[in-house]
Amino acid sequence: MLRSVKLYFRTTATATANRRQLKTLTLSTSTTTANKDAYFALVHHITNIVRRDIYPERTLNRLNLPVTSELVFRVLRACSHSPSESLRFFTWARAHYSPTSVEYEELIKTLARAKRYASMWKLITQMKDQNPQFSISSDTVCSIIEEYGKHGLIDQAVEVFNKCSSLNCEQSVGVYNALLFALCEVKMFHGAYALIRRMIRKGLAPDKRTYAVLVNGWCSSGKMIEAQSFLEEMSKKGFNPPVRGRDLLIEGLLSAGYLDSAKEMVRKMTEEGFVPDVNTFNCLIEAICNVGEIGLCVDMYHGVCNLGLCPDINTYKILIPAVSKVGRIDEAFRLLHSSIEDGHKPFPSLYAPIIKGMCRTGQFDDAFCFFGEMKVKGHPPNRPVYTMLITMCGRAGRYVEAANYLFEMTEMGLMPISRCFDMVTDGLKNCGKHDLAKRIEQLEVSLSRI
């Protein structure tokens, strides 16, 4: 009961603070980190109103919001899975400011994903009426075409492609690729290949995605021979893909879910002394990590590095969390040091998994030491890292250390989440540290007033 009352007052206080700050807070390049956190907290508050309030217009009117293009865009993006609520919010917002094409297009994409095609075209018409010289970006047109393709509406996808001129949108390579994707989604491979020939006649050179879409489509249908023949034919015509054909085939197999076939192809490549493209390799090890074969990933990493592959930062972002999660801390440190030797500057998502892995294995003293070392070397932790460390300390009953990190993160201008306050306060009281628990409660109250 006490916890429920406490949560109620915290929620009420937060909502009151949000309403007060909404009137004056704006985001700029000179905004401090604390103000940015507050700004996005306010956007989150508005998003909750839009998605959950029965009468959002009435609640929003009471807030006296300074409605801006950026605010509307962020709320629409946050509500991308709530098409009806997004449309209702945008209708309300239009009465308080003049929307730009950015907000229109964000809502158009949301409606397309939700198959609300009638509302989508109505919005496009409104956009055109507001500005007869309007133009829809190729990114938005591509999104509409691909959504039609995902739902098997290929005639509508082709219609949008043909209407590009009326939408003041150029039929770029990206738009061709979107229609190519739609055709492959419904297994119309002959039409897809005809579209590539038309693209070439128009003077447009296929890019990596052009090849990848068609190869992925063939691989997903189990047509490896056709995919290889297509790559060979395009090469004979002088249109070589930006990456090697075998890399595209590996990515196509991974996209189609044929992990074992992809692994076998890479194994044969390495036996012949060839290495895959780094992006292809990253896709492969990510897929292997997802099925739990961490040892195989590490072995493949060392094998291709010996053959001359230069890993990029994404390689380490995949491997370090994976090995840390299974308790291979020594390997995680080796990978981290390798990334530093390669010239990459460590950042929270690289060292946080190592700290969490050490906490899981009970190596808290080593974790604290490593955490302090990273700060000394100029890699300041962010809010999620502090939250993770406080949570891990709490789970292990180390509430004094958790309290110290709570104080430390607030000194850095980072706002702890309410769950951390509750966990640390309750833990300190249970172990008899009532004075320290009282200080944590006072800190929470003082932060809620800011």
Tens of pLDDT, residue by residue, the chain (450 residues) = 334 434 333 444 444 444 444 444 443 433 455 567 677 788 888 999 999 989 999 999 998 888 899 999 999 999 999 999 999 999 999 999 888 889 999 999 999 999 999 999 999 988 888 777 778 899 999 999 999 999 999 999 999 999 988 888 889 999 999 999 999 889 898 888 889 889 888 888 888 788 888 888 877 777 777 777 777 777 776 666 655 666 777 777 777 777 887 887 788 777 777 778 888 888 888 888 888 889 988 888 888 888 888 888 999 999 999 999 998 999 999 998 888 888 887 777 788 899 999 999 889 999 999 888 888 877 788 888 899 999 999 999 999 999 999 999 888 888 888 888 889 999 999 988 888 989 988 888 887 766
Predicted local confidence at residue 6, as pLDDT: 43
Predicted local confidence at residue 48, as pLDDT: 92
Residue 36 lies in a domain: no
Tell whether pTM > 0.85: no
Predicted local confidence at residue 23, as pLDDT: 44
Give the residue carrying structure tokens 């103000």.
35
Query: What range defines the domain where residue 439 resides?
Result: 381-449
Angle between helices 2-22 and 56-63 (to 10 degrees): 60
Rounded Cα distance, 406 and 425, in Å = 11
Rounded Cα distance, 176 and 231, in Å = 18
Predicted local confidence at residue 1, as pLDDT: 39
Residue 154 lies in a domain: no
Predicted local confidence at residue 244, as pLDDT: 62
Nearest to 144 by CA among 132, 152, 131, 156: 156
Rounded Cα distance, 370 and 355, in Å = 7
Angle between helices 329-341 and 348-360 (to 10 degrees): 160
Residue 117 lies in a domain: yes
Whether residue 344 contacts residue 381, with contact meaning beta carbons closer than 8 Å, is answered with: no
Residue 178 lies in a domain: no
Residue 41 lies in a domain: no
Chain centroid, CA 232 distance in Å: 35
Residue 385 lies in a domain: yes
Residue 283 lies in a domain: no
Predicted local confidence at residue 7, as pLDDT: 38
Domain boundary among 105, 134, 163: 134
Distance between start and end Cα atoms, the chain: 27
* Number of independent structural domains in the chain: 2
Predicted local confidence at residue 219, as pLDDT: 79
Q: Torsion-angle region of residue 71: left (phi > 0), alpha (psi -120 to 50) or beta?
A: alpha
Predicted local confidence at residue 101, as pLDDT: 87
Angle between helices 418-430 and 383-395 (to 10 degrees): 30
Residue 395 lies in a domain: yes
Give the residue carrying structure tokens 């075998």.
246
Domain boundary among 134, 150, 176: 134
What would the pLDDT profile of 315-337 be if each residue is shown by its tens digit? 999 999 999 999 899 999 999 88
Rounded Cα distance, 55 and 429, in Å = 42
Domain boundary among 134, 154, 188: 134
Max distance between CA atoms of the chain, in angstroms, equals 79
Rounded Cα distance, 312 and 328, in Å = 21
